[in-house]
A and B are shown apart, each in its own frame.
Chain A
């Protein structure tokens, strides 16, 4: 901004005055920025910074929420955590779930967006319909899908029986429960990535397509050499956001399976909930939360490295 005011050739006195003016201006700009930031930073510090700091502090204690005194453990909670087989199992389940769900919902969302980007009839209707599941609350989604996947009365098994497939115990089989939860979640959440892909597609200049067609490119080539590379920033954004949110799987397994059968659908947040709100071990729970946050940071960084190499943010 300031460079528009600076003039190239000025006498020394004016230059000095200009510099002073610049410094003055910069100071004023900084000041203005801080004023603009103030309300936000107030709430940010009060609830986010303070909350995280308190949680980190708690993770060093044996913190029973109702006890007046808390025993200092140092890294004791973390030490217990790395030897805790349920934690590792939950982490594994969560990663499997997150990868399946991110991949599944991105693909469905991309397919839907490609279709809705065409001049088809009823486009507005489909945009509302396909986004509609995202408007439901977790409770509604959970109870509905428990019903759909029910072994005895469920409509999914009813559909499969036409293909001669015997009744499948979706939520009761340890190999199927994560895919079943993932399917539910894809149905529930693919709407938002679909909107993002639609927006991304509409941002691709038509010029590129025209040029490619003049050069005689096939639709397949156009998709793989123009659309997909140009969608790369959107893909990064969708997968990063999706991964962050699906790593926090809680309400689906809380409502539909209570972590079962066995520990087959325990997720990290579900385990955290058990520790913090059933056993009331807030210190250990905080340690779980902080380690999970660290793991998400690492995986997010990996995604940026893998997908985001050529993306400018």
Chain B
């Protein structure tokens, strides 16, 4: 009897403390450490920076080494602006989007956030972001509009209003293992110029356990010890090639799916053949292409600008950065752009502080190059030190020549979600390129018709 009363008493006490404990506390966790310790290998998930009275909640999807770079920059900012404090939350993109939407629905969004330029139309359609024309010199603001690289910049202006401030351009490029190329008698400084040249090079670099390469008739495709290349991210890989063959995902007016054009099929067939006909790349599913490049099992890796910090931390690999491999008739490479956006309900002191922060980050765009990404400001990009930032420069320049972005559409994320499983199915040899792209086109068309 006593035992049970005790239990009941404890339960009551627990419930009581629960109610008290869970009262929304207005004071933030008193972690006032302004010093950030950017461990070289690990990204802090959440950082409280500064102790100023005006507090900014800042969400982004930069969970890689780029998150470190951003936090280091913000730590400097709060030192210069002691009245402002910042909490950054770095959440992987897959989780960030639902969380942002949930937060908008719940009425508790962050004070600023980073997404991609292609997603501006989506947030605009929902009415959850606000314009910031006063930041650009076209409206008497501090930021020089002409200094922002095209075509990303034009996509941030909708109906004459500026939304957000561009942080960077980021996209596909090529990393080359110098030692493996030299061993195969190839010069890492010379990039092949056509599809045939590229294939020949990849064949020389794909080697089986008997030391025979993929061009050799006796080549054993089931026991490959070194791959010519690997398909790291089919979405970026396919779209880069799509542009090289002159195609697009949707028509310019955004009304029609065009992904299954001849250009699309040619592009996907090229990748498919690398895997299943010439055996110069492994099937992408289940293959860790970054680790394989790091351990010298892949000679040439097409991947994103964000690979820079990762490979820079592996001293045993000597590498050269090339622009995207060209296999189609014209230069073409897929890239995106990160943009800082302000939710519609950020007001007052917070709004002032957020704008100050955005201008500061843009003006310190050079620091952002340490993330591997290409600064959005032309003057800053061109002023980078070529010794420290070879990949940023070589790859960044290629975006001016053949760079294409995801078509801005209120459904851009949806379109990507419809496209990716089909690419994956084709590259897992479940469908032919034509079939896969026809199915993708059908699904994308349904999305466009729904708008």
Q: B-contacting residues of A (Cβ < 8 Å)?
A: 64-67, 149-153, 166, 169-174, 257, 259-264, 266, 274, 277-280
Contacts and interface: CB of A to CB of B under 8 A. Distances in A.
Contacts of A259: 421
B428 A261 contact: yes
Nearest to A68: B127
B388 interface: no
A171 B427 CA distance: 13
A149 B222 CA distance: 18
Contacts of A262: 421-422, 424-426, 428, 430-431
A224 B32 CA distance: 68
B225 to A, nearest CB: 11
Pairs of residues from A and B, 10 with the lowest C-beta to C-beta distance, nearest first: A262-B425, A172-B285, A261-B428, A172-B286, A277-B98, A66-B126, A261-B285, A260-B424, A151-B286, A169-B286
B428 A172 contact: yes
A67 B413 CA distance: 17
Interface in B292-319: 292, 297
Contacts of A260: 285, 421, 424, 428
Nearest to B443: A86
Given A152-B288, A166-B222, A260-B421, A65 B428 contact: no
B222 A274 contact: no
B131 interface: no
B286 A150 contact: yes
Q: Which of B98, B413, B426 has the most C-beta atoms of chain A within 10 angstroms of its own C-beta?
A: B98
A277 B428 contact: no
B389 interface: no
A90 B414 CA distance: 18
Contact of A152 (B101, B127, B283, B287): B287
A50 to B, nearest CB: 17
Main secondary structure of the interface of A (DSSP, over half): loop
A278 B428 contact: no
Contacts of B284: 172
Interface in B250-301: 283-288, 291-292, 297
Contacts of A280: 101
A274 B105 CA distance: 18
A87 B419 CA distance: 16
B136 interface: no
Given A259-B421, A279-B414, 17 more contacts: A65-B101, A65-B105, A153-B288, A153-B291, A171-B285, A172-B287, A172-B428, A257-B285, A261-B424, A261-B428, A262-B422, A262-B424, A262-B426, A262-B428, A274-B417, A278-B97, A279-B411
Nearest to A274: B417
Contacts of A264: 425, 428, 430
B97 A174 contact: no
B233 interface: no
A263 B428 contact: no
B417 A277 contact: no
Contact of A263 (B126, B127, B287, B421): B421
A81 B188 CA distance: 53
Nearest to B416: A278
Contact of A261 (B101, B291, B425): B425
B428 A151 contact: no
Contacts of A274: 417
Contacts of B223: 166
Nearest to B423: A262
Contacts of A169: 283, 285-287
A170 B97 contact: no
